Amino acid sequence: MDSHLLRFMPLLCVLFVVTACVDAEVSPTWETYVKQKQQGVVTDTPDYSWAGYARGEKAIPVAVGKRFDVADFGAIPDDLLDDRDAIQKAIDAAAEKGGGVVTFHAGRYLVNTDMNDRGTIRIESSNIVLKGAGSREGGTIIHQIQPFGKGDPYDMRRMHLGDNVLLIHSRDEEKRLSTKPVFCKVTGDAGRETYSLTVDAVDQLAVGQRVYLYAMNRQVIDEAVKPFTIHEDWTTTTQNKAYIVEIHQIAALDGKKVTFAEPIRYDIFAKHNWELREHQPIENVGVEDIAFMGNHWHPYKHHRSGMDDSAWAMIKIKGVANSYVRRCSFINVSQSLYISLSSYVTAMNITQAGNTSHHSPRVSFYTYGVLAGLIDDQAASTHGPSLNAGTVGTVFWRWKGKDGSIDSHAGRPFTSLYDCVEATCIHSSGGRRSYPQHLRQLMLWNVKMDADKPLHYDFWMPEKNNVFVMPNIVGMHGSPVTFNMDHVGMVESNGKAVLPQSLYEAQLALRLGKLPAWVSDVQQEQKQLESQPLVKFYDRNDPNSPTWFYPETFNVNDMLGYLTKLSLKMFNTKLYTYRITDDKATLHTDQSFVRQTLYALMNAIYQHHNTGNTITAQPMSINGKPGIEFVITSGQLSKPVTDLQADELVVAAHAMANRIGGKIQLKQSDSQIQFVVRIPQLSAQ
């Protein structure tokens, strides 16, 4: 083969990638990228293809190893007993043997059934896989019954970071980054998209070791926001509290030269006091073929309380490398998946459905190379493909969602790719103290917008909370979108998709010489999953949906204490007081339906009046059965309220109460709202 043709073989290897959209034209940005790669110079566009398990180079392996059947440890599906401790015993047994596959049968496993004993299942060792019997109908369900939140859900610290059903973490990564041991200081400069730097000592370094490349220096952020400047109320940066972090694995040591296995993303200047610090993740952990279900049923409102934002959070991954969650469903949850302090984690073939959610899979806090792909968010999450807090090299690939928003959530993410994503808007949020919402090298590639009106974006308007540093937009299509061209790096082919269809796939094929088979395999798996029905779940808007009862006898006083002291106390303002005639009274029914019925009605009142509201409870006979009557009463209204029966919260409360034989009566005057709720004891099923 002649040298001229050989020179262009990498480009030929990706032709099948770029021919997927026959009406599109090849992107000049892509052509420049290929040319710069051939010339061996630093590319204008970062190489995003390093994201994912094994840096995208290998398929996630089939789970092999010793099997640990949760049934052998006491976790039996569909027996209405709590399975959390038995599942934990199976995981611990696998850990003692150096790893293994923890297997689940088809059916429903219950966790957190007791409000007085709510805890998290933990994986704290490498080489453990949780494997279910499938995440669709007829598969494995892990069902969280009671909400999380041992503290006040209105405490802003708990709105996003409450407990989770499953925590996969390294205990060594629970320390603050600023307290991690320092191995050496960086003594030489290194440009972005390069691999090597010099340090003052290598005696604590070894090939294969993972480290933090770390700085905490405002000057790094000053450089990364040019041509703009930092605002003084972005206090995390102005008070020099902003970590700048990349996670790397050492590929080679040559004297005091350290070479990493993956590209450096920031421009490194020794004068900014960069260091290599200790990073000790666990590795090779997986979760697959499981449906995670919560009891998040009431109408959702963003930041109303922790009951809305984080009470039904499923999986948290922290301090992990080369790990994955795949072929899983998340139903009626607040948050599905949260990833932090980790590298080369893949979330793939994920479906989120049911009640409106706070977050779809979220990438956060100093990750490197996380890949979230083939995500189907049917839950209209407030924050769609979401990243924040110093993430580096994140790729959202072929994500689609109902009313989905591209979300960069402040904390200075860097070098991120939204690739073949479908969205209705680009969302900016996260809190001014942690701005900007994204630093340089944000790429939106072939994003399809599905808005109900034309959109215009100005990406640098700090007074209006749009704070993105010169993002790049290539091939945005669908709904019409325009931009303030002074505040973007480039806009190419606006209104029409380009080739290659997927930048991640094309860069991966170019880097490896061919596209790995796993890329087409997971897309085929997604088609197979979408052809199967989801597990059945409760939908308050569907009277034919299953109820999934968890009947229990609970103390009514304790439940009211939770609702008034915790769930409806906002920023130290007491929204409700309560009184019960018998504080030892109990009720046998499904507590989740009672709690969320009352929660919906209390919020229906709160949105019109937030002081002097009360709730009372007394035991009484209801249709010949023991029961409880709850009376929820507003304070003195300043103006009449109309059409309350049609309010979404009230409609939802009726639907939930009906499932347990409850009845709601609205008594209303110009000066007061009152709901009378009667809940009978649940008959034996």
Mean pLDDT of each 10-residue bin along the chain, 685 residues long: 39 47 86 98 98 98 96 98 98 98 99 88 98 99 86 46 87 92 98 98 98 95 93 87 94 99 98 98 99 94 78 94 99 94 98 89 94 94 85 97 82 94 83 88 97 93 90 97 98 98 99 98 98 96 92 94 66 73 95 96 90 93 95 94 94 97 96 97 75
263, 329: one domain: no
Q: Which of 539, 536, 535 is nearest to 652 (CA)?
A: 539
Does 38 map to a domain? no
Domains in the chain, number: 3
211, 298: one domain: no
Does 633 map to a domain? yes
Asked if 465 and 445 touch (Cβ cutoff 8 Å), the reply is: no
Q: Which of 346, 294, 289, 279 is nearest to 317 (CA)?
A: 346
276, 291: one domain: no
In the numeric block, which tokens belong to residue 95? 């850990």
In the numeric block, which tokens belong to residue 417? 């790719």
Asked if 408 and 416 touch (Cβ cutoff 8 Å), the reply is: yes
345, 315: one domain: yes
Euclidean distance between CA atoms 630 and 394, whole angstroms: 49
Q: Which of 91, 97, 92 is nearest to 66 (CA)?
A: 97
DSSP code at position 85: H
Residue 149 confidence (pLDDT): 60
606, 649: one domain: yes
According to DSSP, the residues that pair with 680 across neighbouring strands are: 627
Does 415 map to a domain? yes
474, 369: one domain: yes
Euclidean distance between CA atoms 79 and 553, whole angstroms: 17
Asked if 405 and 362 touch (Cβ cutoff 8 Å), the reply is: no
137, 249: one domain: no
According to DSSP, the residues that pair with 376 across neighbouring strands are: 351, 400
| The residue to which tokens 């049917």 are assigned | 378
Tell the burial category of 631 from Cβ atoms under 10 Å away from its Cβ (0-12, 13-18, 19+): middle
**Domain end call among 249, 280, 311:** 280
**Domain end call among 260, 280, 300:** 280
528: three-class secondary structure by DSSP: helix
In the numeric block, which tokens belong to residue 123? 């994986």
Euclidean distance between CA atoms 592 and 535, whole angstroms: 20
Does 535 map to a domain? no
Q: What is the CATH number of the domain that holds 362?
A: 2.160.20
Residue 577 confidence (pLDDT): 85
Does 32 map to a domain? no
Model confidence pLDDT, tens digit, residues 477-492: 999 999 999 999 999 9
Element (DSSP H or E) covering residue 111: strand 107-111
Pairing mode of beta strands 422-423, 448-449: parallel
SS3 content of the chain, % helix, strand, coil (to 5): 25, 35, 45
Model-wide pTM > 0.85: yes
144, 289: one domain: yes
355, 432: one domain: yes
Residue 36 confidence (pLDDT): 98
**Domain end call among 223, 258, 280:** 280
- Which residues, other chains included, contact 464 with Cβ-Cβ below 8 Å and sequence gap of 6+? 458
288, 404: one domain: yes
Q: Which domain holds residue 230?
A: 174-280
Tell the burial category of 1 from Cβ atoms under 10 Å away from its Cβ (0-12, 13-18, 19+): exposed
- Which residues, other chains included, contact 632 with Cβ-Cβ below 8 Å and sequence gap of 6+? 598, 601, 602, 605, 613, 614, 615, 674, 675, 677
How crowded is residue 137: how many other Cβ atoms within 10 Å of its Cβ?
A: 12
Does 386 map to a domain? yes
Does 540 map to a domain? no
Q: What is the CATH number of the domain that holds 574?
A: 3.30.565.10
Does 15 map to a domain? no
Euclidean distance between CA atoms 27 and 15, whole angstroms: 13
567, 676: one domain: yes
632, 504: one domain: no
